[in-house]
Amino acid sequence: MSQTTLKRVLGRFARDPLLHFLVLGGVMSGVFVLLDDRTEALMPTEIRYTVDDVARLILGFETQWNRPPTQAEFNALVEDRVREDILYREALALGLDKDDTIVRRRMAQKMQFLAEDIAAAREPTIAELKSWYADNNRLFEMAPRLSFRHIYFSPDRRGKNAQADAAAALEELSGTSADRVEGSGLGDRFMFQDYYGERSLQAIAREFGAGFAQSIDDLQPGVWSGPVQSGLGWHLVRVDKVIAGRVPRFEEVANEVKTAWLGQQKAEAWRKSYDEMRAKYTVLLPVPEVESPGAAASPAQPVDRPGDGGS
């Protein structure tokens, strides 16, 4: 096929983006394959895009705007990509990528992503996940949880008497059911909740402080106890229910197990890939010059990797 014919086909494709790929995708791919039988490199001033390149442009537009682009919008998408590629090539020609920390970090990051994507490309089987979970189920252990209600005694309102008032109220509550406390007028208004259902000690500590969480973990369930101090004041506490910590069944956390498994596979793939790349290189650092007169500077010495015997 001549270049003129190709240009005519490409022009028709560009004028009608709504027909992209569904109708002409396979045909255009075949055209590019026939034309690309040549093995020589592109001319430095030639920018060639494939059907997949154009597909990504249109897909990106449709993802953002929930509709296909108009002709003018399609032309603008192409011109934006052309501008980006031209500026990138010109920047490389000027050496602007050299000694640029941001560019170096970005390219290093992309290399790591490529290595990790190799591990993410394979879907694990249920048998693999169950086997992995059997060895790592402690990672998914459910912490103990408590359900409790409390009566608050405010230091701002009662001053130094807050603890003593709480202790006196505890005597009144001896043998009293939780229901009879409602509306009894004991304690002060609390800014948050009076009842907390099935909270982990970590969650309780975030709201009341670590000392409070540890104290109520030791309380006898079903009776009023205290006074217990928190970062907010003093409390009488009744633990209603204690749910012991446990390791969940695989079926309960299957999605989380898969996510963790993939994370480990990515980390291992990256470590292996980097070790292979690192083995190709010897790193030389300059040796500080000796200050004594007439002493010659030592040549750079190789740097051992941590844990290696040498490079």
Please check whether residue 302 is in contact with residue 284, taking contact to mean a CB–CB distance below 8 angstroms: yes
Last residue of a domain, one of 218, 243, 268: 243
Same domain, 76 and 159: no
Last residue of a domain, one of 243, 268, 296: 243
Q: Rounded to whole angstroms, how far apart are CA atoms 150 and 166?
A: 11
Same domain, 83 and 172: no
Nearest residue to 129 via CA among 256, 246, 247, 248: 256
pLDDT of residue 119: 63
Q: Rounded to whole angstroms, how far apart are CA atoms 295 and 298?
A: 9
Within 10 A of 108 (CB to CB), how many other CB atoms are there? 10
- Asked if the structure places residue 263 within a domain, the reply is no
Last residue of a domain, one of 214, 243, 272: 243
- Asked if the structure places residue 311 within a domain, the reply is no
Q: Rounded to whole angstroms, how far apart are CA atoms 55 and 64?
A: 14
Q: Rounded to whole angstroms, how far apart are CA atoms 300 and 309?
A: 18
- Asked if the structure places residue 28 within a domain, the reply is yes
- Asked if the structure places residue 208 within a domain, the reply is yes
Q: Where are the alpha helices (DSSP H) in 137-233?
A: 155-158, 162-172, 201-208, 210-217
pLDDT of residue 191: 87
Low-confidence ranges of the chain (pLDDT < 70): 1-44, 119-121, 175-184, 289-311
pLDDT of residue 275: 87
Considering its fold, how many domains does the chain have in total?
Answer: 2
* Distance from chain centroid for Cα 135: 23
Cα–Cα distances (Å) from 110 to 64, 93, 117, in that order, read: 24, 22, 10
pLDDT in tens, 121-130: 678 899 999 9
Same domain, 238 and 153: yes
Same domain, 81 and 20: yes
CATH of the domain at 199: 3.10.50.40
- Asked if the structure places residue 9 within a domain, the reply is yes
pLDDT of residue 149: 92
pLDDT in tens, 6-53: 455 455 445 554 444 443 344 334 433 333 443 344 456 788 888 888
- Asked if the structure places residue 69 within a domain, the reply is yes
Domain range for 193: 145-243
Question: For the residues of 185-213, what is the DSSP string, one character each?
Answer: --SB--SS-SEEEEEEHHHHHHHH-HHHH
Strand partners, 196: 148
Same domain, 9 and 92: yes
Q: Rounded to whole angstroms, how far apart are CA atoms 258 and 303?
A: 39
* Distance from chain centroid for Cα 304: 32
- Asked if the structure places residue 289 within a domain, the reply is no
Same domain, 151 and 90: no
R_g of the chain computed on alpha carbons: 34
- Asked if the structure places residue 300 within a domain, the reply is no
pLDDT of residue 311: 41
